[in-house]
Each structure stands twice: as C-alpha cells, then as structure tokens.
Structure 1
Amino acid sequence: MIRFPLIILVSLLAHALTKAQEPFTLKGTIDTTENAIYYFYYEVGDSGITDTVRLKKGGAFEISGYIEEPSRLFVSIEDKYNPRVVGDFIVYQGWLEPGKEHIFKGFRDWQKGWDNFEISDSKTDSLSREWSKLSVLEDKEEITRAQSRFIEEHLGSYYVLQVLYGKLRNDEDLTRVRDLLSRIPAHLQSTFKYKKSLDMLAVKDNISIGSVFPDFEQADTSSNMQRLSDIRKNKFILVDFWASWCGPCRAENPHLVKAYNQYHEKGFDIIGVSLDKDRDEWIQAIHDDKQVWHHVSDLKGFDNEVAKSLYIRSIPSNFLLDPTGKIIARDIRGEELTRLLGEILN
C-alpha cells in the first residue's frame, strides 16, 4: 500500500477545498442611469441570495458569491411599470456557474427577451438561449421534436437537468422524465437539482390517481390541530389548496359551495388548505365565500409545509379522495365536481 506523508494529504485536501469554494464573479455594466438600484438574486439549493447593488459611474457593478452548481440569476428593480406584477420587476434572467468570472452587459430595452443582455463564459446560459429559441418554431409537433433532440444531445448538461426539473413541476410526461433521469450521467447525480428531481418524482408517484393521499396535520382557524385521517373517516373528501388572494381560487369557491351543500349529507366533505400569510384575510375570505367546511393553514404562504411536501406550486389545486384515502380525481374545475359526486353518491 502506498503511504503519503500527512503534510501532503493535508495540503491536497486544503487545495481541493479551496478549489471547491472558489467564488463566482459577475461584473459589468447596465445601460441605465447612475446610482440606480438593482437586485441580483441567485439560487442556492432550495433558497437563494439577494445582493442589492447601486450602479456606479457608467452603470458599472460587481458582485461575487459561492455556488456549488450552476444557478439561475434574476436581476430586478422596484416595480413601477406593471401593476399586475407582485414584487420586484425582473429585467434580466441568466445563469451563473461556480468559480467563473462572468462579464455582464445589460441593455436598456427589456422587451427583447434573451437579446436584452449578454453574459460571458456560461455554457448553461448559452444552452438556455438555444432552448428558448425552440419555442418560437411555427409547428407544435416540430417544437416537440426539436426539444426532444435537444434533450438527447445535451443530456450530460446541467441545463437539461433543469428542463427535466421544470417538466416534473408541471406534471409533464412523467414516464418520459423518469426514463431520462435514469440516464443522467454520474457527474450530475451528486447535484442538488438531480436529488431534488428524484425526490419530486417519488412524491408525484405518491399523489397520482390510485395512490393513498399522504396524511397531514395543521391548525384550523381556532388554532386547534386537525388531521386529515380523522376528518375523512367514511367520507369522500376534497383536499383543496387555495388562498384568499388567489383570484382563480375564489372563482372556484361557488362551485365547491354548491357541491358541498348538495352532497355533504350523503358523505362528502372538504378540507381547505390555505396558502395565506395573513390570518385575518384568510378568515374573512372563508366567511365571504360561505365556506362552511374544514380549514387549516400554517400561514406560511407558498412555504406551507403540506404544499411544499407535495411540490404544489400553483393554486387552485385539489384532490378527491375516497373513504380509504385513495385519490380518485384531481384538479377538478367548475361543475365537474358536482357531476362526479352525483355519479358516486346518487
């Protein structure tokens, strides 16, 4: 067996750690007024970091940070332009890579899409631009074929891993995504994105039609803990993810009220899981919409523990369960719930 002196091993380890922790740098200019304030947000695992930057003379700026894998970059300003936008107004979106020194140039016309900025030395950003160009092809089938070719040709890239992650979040072609994830090369299998994708795929399997919906517990409007398995005993139950601030959710509520009033006495119930943050607004919406069924929330918005565990990132979203807890339908809209319950309970 070959033995290395301890001092050499320590030196090698220190070198490896230094290399792994080498920061990225992003510097350049944005074509706008001096002293303008921009917010640079980049993803780190399940969260992210925001650097607030005041542009210098000539629109110059520089930021640096540590990322372990390619990270999406969002550059935004205070929103004074679009009243429909919640939060800051995003003007540039790109990709950073670990240990790279990126040169950035942001142009004044934000409406140009990918052409409104340049970022150097980012293979991931270059692939994202190639992918975005596929969506403007004229024929839908041509788009599908082109995207499939792209995925196969770049299966060893981090960006394709991001594409597959996005498909999982949108419940797109899970069988195909499962196959592609099984073929992801070894150098990407240690990334957060790959592990997160596998976890999401497992969760998607657990909330597919025919699966037993995972049990959960949260506080009701009186701060008492309510457990799904206690509520659904011997009932068909709709688990409805919604929020007071969600317009489409509120538009669906009259249909839920109708179904509840018509079939509650025959063995149907609802538990609403709110993605609200404001307790008063949540309770007021329940009252205004005449939702007399069960309601729970941890008042964490989209960080609601139940919603996060099921990767629910858009609402309204719902699941219809039979008395054993098995999922028999999901994302039911309009009169479909009343019709379906009529077939089951009449």
Structure 2
Amino acid sequence: MEDRSSDIIEIKDSSVNVRELMEEIESRLARKPVSKEELDRLSRWKFSPQSPEGYREFDAAETAHLFEKGISPPKFTNPRFKYIRGPIRWAFIKLIELYSFLDKKLSENRTRAFYSVLNELILLRGDHEKLKRKFEKFYNEFVELNYSLKREIHPDFVWSNEFLYEEETLEESETIILSRLNPGDSVLAINPEWGKFLKQLLKAQIEFKAVVWNSAQYSYIKEQVTNSIQLLSFEDLLPAPPLPTKIVSHSNLCLLPNWVLEKLFKNLAAKTSPGTEFIFRYSNYSNRLVSPFQPVLLTQIGESALREFIHKLGFKNIVETKSSDGFVILSFRK
C-alpha cells in the first residue's frame, strides 16, 4: 500500500539531536554514491518539529517525575573525574545527595505551585481538544453544505495539517468500527468523506483501498492523506472484483441518495465473495449541528425495512449496534 506515512519519521526521544543526525546523514551521503530515487526519498523525510530536542508529546506524569527527581550524583565516567577516587569520591557523592535532599525539603511551596500550574495546563489542554473537535464538526458541515449548493470551495481541515500520528479522540461509533479491523485485514473503505477516518487506518497500520465518488474529495484525499484512493462514478460504485474481505463505510449512509444506496447494496451482493464482512454506519439526523433546526438528509432509513431488504439480498448475521453519538453501526456478512 502506497501512502504518505512511509515518508514520515517521528523522533520522540529528547536525547536525539536532529541537527547532528542530519549532518551525519549528509556526511555519509557524500562518501557513498546513491541513486536519484534514494535522494528523492531522503528529501521527503520530515522531522517535526525541527529542534535540537527532537519531537516529544507532552506527558504530565513524566514532567512531574523530572521535577521531583532532583539532582543525581555523577557516574564518574568522564575522564575529567578519574582523579576523584576513594574517600573523596564517597564524600562528594554524599554531599550531592544531602544537597538534593535539602533542596526537596526547602522547596515544598514551589512544588505545590508547580503541581497547581501543571493541573491547570492539563485542564486547558482538554478544553483545547474539545474546541478543536467541535470546530471540525462545524467546518465539515459547512463544507458539505457548500458542495450541496454547488459552490466552489477548497477545504482545509485542521487534522490534515497535523502530524500523522498525533493522538486524536474518535467518536464512539468510529471507535467501534475501528475495533473490528485488524492490521492483517484486507479492507475496502467506501466513500470516506474527506479522509479523516483513513488517517486512523494508517495510524493502526491497516492495509486498505478506498473508493470515493466525489472528485473534490478524491483530490483532497490523494493530496493530504494517501494514494490508495480510486475515483469512481455512481454508475460503477465499486471497483472490479475480487474485492477485499472487509468492506467499511464510515460516512453516514443517509447523506447518499436512496437510489445510490439501493444500487450499492445490490452491487455488494453481486460482486463480493462468501464470507465477506460489511460494517456501515448511519443516522437519520445530523450529528454535527448543535441546533434545534436539523437539515433534512437525502435519505431516511427505516431499521426494520433495512434488515428485511438486506436479508432478501442473501446477507446474514445482521447486527445493529446503537452508539451514544447518535449513529447505528450496521454489520452483516455475505
């Protein structure tokens, strides 16, 4: 699977000096002849952020441990300390340990103030993540509305510019779908909207192919997320068989026209092999607008009628799981 994750190297160890590492790479390249393909690949390496300390996500527990650890006596591995031996070395170590102990006792007020500030930072970080997720929901609704009104717009989602493996909180229905996929599975993602869920598949190292029917979404995903994306029309809907053994639709099925959904399920029945597993989700209401005025979605799905329709097409093991975020996760097998 060809994707952008293969060109990204993440350095979390603060002891790694990125600048020295790049100088070492350049010096080795100067001594060893390399091909043009290798140079192109090396030129796409990204170190985020570019700093002597490297990249390390904030960890409150580790920060508190470093603050409490205090001063440690030297290991005397440096040649400069080779003359410090015997009782002098012992006395030197004890003196440093005594100073570290007294420093901890004399700085109790400073420690309390530090933990107060640390607690406030944790709360602020949580509020920031909530606001960011809320903004993404509003922005996604804004983009979808403009496309439905045939307006030209070039979307720019926050998550597409973040580091690929930065931690993100998923909705409950998204977590349920992701928990049913494994790195060894062969997955086909149908209509993945603007590709945010595909980033989660990349993060989980799940091999996949994706199909989209919107040319704007296709261009955005291909540029920002992965090359494992195929643009089809409503006439084709699915790629040519054989299809992967797990087929997932992360977007709300109710955003598609009713005739497209009916044709999609019939194509799935005709083109997939026995044993293929399907995981879809849908909601008859908009879950992104916190407003009493809900937009009318393209299709309304009746749960009992849907089960009967899927069963007549020859599918089995039909299970519907309701999540707290308003979605119904629909799973069944061929």
- For the superposition of Structure 1 and Structure 2, which TM-score range results when normalised by the shorter chain? under 0.3
Which protein has greater RCO, CA pairs closer than 8 Å, 6+ apart?
Answer: 2
Higher strand share: 1
Q: Give the structure-2-normalised TM-score.
A: 0.25
Which structure has the highest helix share of the two?
2
* TM-score for both structures, normalised by structure 1: 0.24
